[in-house]
Structure 1
Amino acid sequence: MMSFKKLQPYLIAVLIVAGGILVGRIFSSSRAPQQQAAQSKTGRQLSFMRVTNGEVQRVIEISGKASAVQKIDIYAEVSGVFAEALHPFREGSAFRKGDVLLRIDDGVYRNTVQAEKSALLNTLTLLMPDLIIDFPDDAPLWKNYLEQFRLNGPLRSLPPVSNDRVRNYIAARNIYTRYYAVRSMEETLAKYRITAPFEGVVTVSSVNPGMLIRTGQKIGEFAAPGAYELEASVGIGDAQWVHAGDHVVLESDDLDSSVDGVVARLNQSIDDDTQTVGVYIKFSDDRVRDGMYMTADLHVPVGDAVAIPRSLLLGGDGVYALEDSLLTRIPVDVVAVYGSQAIVRSIPDGTTLLAEPVEGVYQGMVVRKDAVLLRDSTTGAR
């Protein structure tokens, strides 16, 4: 028979195992209530918002390049050698209204005009003796015109005639033909001097002194600084909310503050390539330069509406509302969808909407009161 000393190690081992089992059972029994309590709170807390309809500020973001309102391309209407005026025709050169931007050498053509004027003077001189005899009452007017005729000055208008007989008498001597030929040549001669139609700055210069300029050649560009127009475009759906006179906030990476503008007009046709509508924004700022890239925030008020997250839309025309502790799908009128936001109408004031999309919710789902987190809706939108 085995002695007690030999059995002692085995007994100790059995006691240790039995004690461990007992301790484990006691620990398990002490955790059971906590685990049960946690399982009882697995219901998800849902976020809801109470709808209050009002004016929603719809912000439409557009972009484009600033272009001077007063801006012209300068083309040569006559040919000749380019000769600079008093101020050089170079990029950045400023001119007042009426200043000569540039000159084209008109020496040859001016002599041709003088020759035609001399021929007209000769014809008028030959007319006078016969006119004094045949129409003595009209002769003084024509005599005075002849005395004030200047070859180096602009051609004055011919004297009026008292009746058709006098008119035909003068026309038969080729007076009118020569007169209007000279007037036409004087108009052409004036094109050799190009003057500034308004106060502005040369933005592009394509010629140098001594260069031969041909008819129809582009000489440069001339623009008035300060007043600009931004040509942008909006989608067809957004165009219905844009109107002439709407306030616009313009920004640029090159400016330290924003610029206020106004929608001047909208294009009534749609661009075939982009399917957008042109919007033209007018503004004035001395910091802006022609061709500067700018973005604009167009604030459009939408009345009797509310802004909600776009993700709440069900099939594009419905949302979940809480009615008598049940989730119910209600229809909405979607006014605009942009980015992560949507502007909707036709939701009665006081309606409780699901404010955040939650996976697993469904039509008719029961929502406990202690699982509801309620907040008011806002009408601001971007």
Structure 2
Amino acid sequence: VNKVENRSLPISISSSGSLSAYNRLSLFSEVQGIFDWSAGNFKPGEYYKGGSTLLRINSQEFQANIRAQRGSFITQLVALLPDLRLDYPDVAPRWSAYLDSVDVSKAIPTLPEFSSDREKYFITGKGLLSSYYQIKNLEERLSKYRIRAPFSGVLTQALVNKGTLVSPGMKLGEFIDPGLYELQLSVNSAYSDLLKRGKTVELSNIEKTKSWSGKVVRVNRIVDPASQTIQAFIHVRGKDLREGMFMEANIPAEKVDDAFEIDRKLLVDDNKVYVVRDSSLSLAEVVPVHFTDNTAIVKGLTNGTQVIAKITPGAYSGMRVKISN
């Protein structure tokens, strides 16, 4: 038997889920070409620093096309200057200096600002603006031949090898930041008021050999109609955390005064428990206030009451028992 000693007991909400990296990047190609270089081996588990090249697609043919377009743009400028010197002598030096700054092997510089609407209409009428933005569009597309790591992290999936011909829309792999993980929990909606942003949550692995501290960052106030639960999202950092790792969470809720914790299996009809009085069993009514997987916190028992410690087969009220030490 266990002797009842009522006291203030803390209640925590338990839930579980698996970790997923908060910062995750699915790699897709927007252009076509041969995968020819990477700053690493482009294999699962490979680490890349932020800003380094995850994957580069051969762009020599595309670059040659851009250089040809820049050359045509220079030709347009050269043909435009005599008319500018004649009709707009005040702005001609500015456009002449701009012509000198254009290089077929470098990104096209920003156009000079127009000093008047007449100048703008004249330049536009010569097709210069159209050519300029066509080149800018090509230069933007050129940047898609190189995929850089937006943060330091690890490649978790690699679907292509060097030398592979990649096509637009093809998935190339996945890249994550292993420094910050998110845990999605389903919590009984009755405890929704206790789930607030910034609240600390104790996390442990399934073996309960390691623990971490996380924080609530988001709470979905929509209640799942089937399970009557809400979703809470926890952020956690720390060593030994892995993508897909199963975690158990304990969220501190409140304390219950004058309560006693018993094995959940000892409850009879959910609100009674066998106690020993005068060497006989009798049923005492209790008020369960919280359940965990294995225990129940109940109120209504008097201090000193002897509660059976384990299930007694065939137990009934009035059954004579002998207490063994």
* Class of the TM-score when normalised by the shorter of the 2 chains: 0.7 to 0.9
- Separation (CA, whole Å) in 2 of partners of 1:240 and 1:359: 41
Q: Secondary structure at the match of 1:109?
A: helix
User: Is 1:88 paired with 2:74?
Assistant: no
Using the TM superposition, name which of 249-258 and 77-86 deviates more.
249-258
User: Is 1:291 paired with 2:244?
Assistant: yes
- Separation (CA, whole Å) in 1 of partners of 2:24 and 2:302: 55
**Shift, 1:112, TM fit:** 2.0
Residues 210 and 312 from structure 1, CA distance in 2 versus in 1: closer, same or farther, beyond 3 angstroms? closer
What is the identity, as a one-letter code, of the residue corresponding to 1:116?
A: Q
Match of 2:14 in 1: 61
| Pairs aligned (count) | 300
- Separation (CA, whole Å) in 2 of partners of 1:252 and 1:331: 33
Residues 236 and 149 from structure 1, CA distance in 2 versus in 1: closer, same or farther, beyond 3 angstroms? same
Match of 1:225 in 2: 178
User: Is 1:341 paired with 2:296?
Assistant: yes
User: Which of residues 168, 176, 179 in structure 2 aligns to 1:215?
Assistant: 168
What is the identity, as a one-letter code, of the residue corresponding to 2:253?
A: V
Question: Contact between 1:64 and 1:293, CA under 8 Å: does it hold in 2?
Answer: yes
Structure number having the greater helix percentage:
1
**Shift, 1:271, TM fit:** 3.6
**Shift, 1:46, TM fit:** 12
Using the TM superposition, name which of 68-77 and 268-277 deviates more.
268-277
Question: Contact between 2:271 and 2:285, CA under 8 Å: does it hold in 1?
Answer: no
Match of 2:31 in 1: 78
User: Which of residues 147, 150, 163 in structure 1 aligns to 2:100?
Assistant: 147
Q: Secondary structure at the match of 1:178?
A: helix
User: Which of residues 50, 60, 65 in structure 2 aligns to 1:112?
Assistant: 65
Question: Contact between 2:4 and 2:302, CA under 8 Å: does it hold in 1?
Answer: no
Match of 1:179 in 2: 132
Residues 292 and 312 from structure 1, CA distance in 2 versus in 1: closer, same or farther, beyond 3 angstroms? closer
TM-score relative to the length of structure 2: 0.79
Using the TM superposition, name which of 173-182 and 298-307 deviates more.
298-307
**Shift, 1:331, TM fit:** 11
Question: Contact between 1:312 and 1:355, CA under 8 Å: does it hold in 2?
Answer: no
TM-score relative to the length of structure 1: 0.68
- Separation (CA, whole Å) in 1 of partners of 2:161 and 2:147: 15
Unaligned runs of 5+ in 1: 1-44, 318-328, 362-382
Question: Contact between 2:70 and 2:103, CA under 8 Å: does it hold in 1?
Answer: no
- Separation (CA, whole Å) in 2 of partners of 1:85 and 1:218: 16
Residues 48 and 105 from structure 1, CA distance in 2 versus in 1: closer, same or farther, beyond 3 angstroms? closer
Q: Identity over aligned residues, as a percent?
A: 30
**Shift, 1:86, TM fit:** 3.8
Q: Once the two structures are superposed, what CA deviation does each residue of 1:268-320 show, in whole Å capped at 9, x if it has no partner?
A: 22345544222211111121111112222222224667456577798869xxx
Q: How does 1:262-301 map to 2 (within 5 A)?
A: 262-271=215-224, 274-301=227-254
Measured on the aligned residues, the alpha-carbon RMSD in Å equals: 3.3
- Separation (CA, whole Å) in 1 of partners of 2:217 and 2:234: 5
Q: Secondary structure at the match of 1:269?
A: coil
Unaligned runs of 5+ in 2: 273-283, 309-314, 319-325
- Separation (CA, whole Å) in 2 of partners of 1:110 and 1:166: 32
- Separation (CA, whole Å) in 1 of partners of 2:298 and 2:302: 16
